[in-house]
A and B are shown apart, each in its own frame.
Chain A
Amino acid sequence: MQPSPDHIFKSLADPTRRAIFERLCRGGEQTVWMLTDDAGISQPAVSKHLGVLKHAGLVTDRREGRETHYSAKPQALAPLLDWMSMYAAFWHERFDRLESLLNRMDQ
């Protein structure tokens, strides 16, 4: 199932998660431990944030031995970047329906 824009927004509303996500975008694949060193919070807290990001489709994980490696999927942000154009398309389509309704009201 495709994560909804709502999920993406909620998951990035938290500044710590935003920071983690941004670090993965910039620095490429990293383990929880590498991220914990930078985040200034506990490893379980970092893992929890990563879980939320993963649920929103913003990160993927890869198991290697005992370590889990996380990487960013910035393409998951496309629905947000397209938000305005999504609404523009939406209103265009609704205007056509409105026009057809008004024509029918004439009869």
Chain B
Amino acid sequence: MSETQTLIMEKEFAQPAEKLWRALTTPHLIAEWLMKNDFEPTIGRPFQLRMETPQWSGVIDCKVLAIEPQKKLSYTWSSMGLDTVVTFILTPTPNGVQLRVEQSGFDEAHARNFQGAKFGWQSFLNKLEKVVGGL
């Protein structure tokens, strides 16, 4: 098994799942909360998220992996030399909807490609973290 790191974030919204789903999948609404984009809800379709801030390279290359209306949306997220997968999971609650966002480090194909580099990286970064921590 290759090791991947996953970031998990959750938040409950007071609106129904249907409304959240629209905000996650309609380009002009995505632009309002996430980034400018040419998203299209079709599996396998590449799209781009664009942002202009000093910390970011500007363009995030994505591809739709999964769509289950009002339940799940998943797409690849490639930026700054790293390939991750972002998954949105919607669960209705008595008061609205729970949104869970998971951003996982590497998909399987990339885990294979990056394995050597990644393990080298890990020990390298661990060592350097100590160096940086000592500054």
Contact = CB atoms under 8 A, between A and B. Distances in A.
A92 B7 contact: no
Contacts of A34: none
Interface in A57-94: 74-75, 77-81, 83-84, 86-88, 91-92, 94
A73 B60 CA distance: 28
Given A15-B120, A77-B132, A102 B20 contact: yes
A91 B80 CA distance: 17
A3 to B, nearest CB: 12
Would you call the interface of chain A mostly helix, strand, loop, or mixed? Answer: helix
A22 interface: yes
A5 B20 CA distance: 32
Interface in A2-25: 2, 4-6, 9-10, 12-13, 15, 18, 22, 25
Q: How large is the interface on B (under 10, 10 to 19, 20 to 34, 35 or more residues)?
A: 35 or more
Interface stretch (B9-17, B36-44, B67-75): B9-17
A87 B84 CA distance: 11
B103 A87 contact: yes
Interface residues of A, number: 36
A101 B23 CA distance: 8
Interface string A18-56: 100010010000000000000000000000000000000
A53 to B, nearest CB: 13
A98 B23 contact: yes
Contacts of B32: 97, 101
Contacts of A15: 120
B109 interface: no
A74 B135 contact: yes
5 contacts: A4-B57, A6-B80, A95-B11, A97-B32, A102-B14
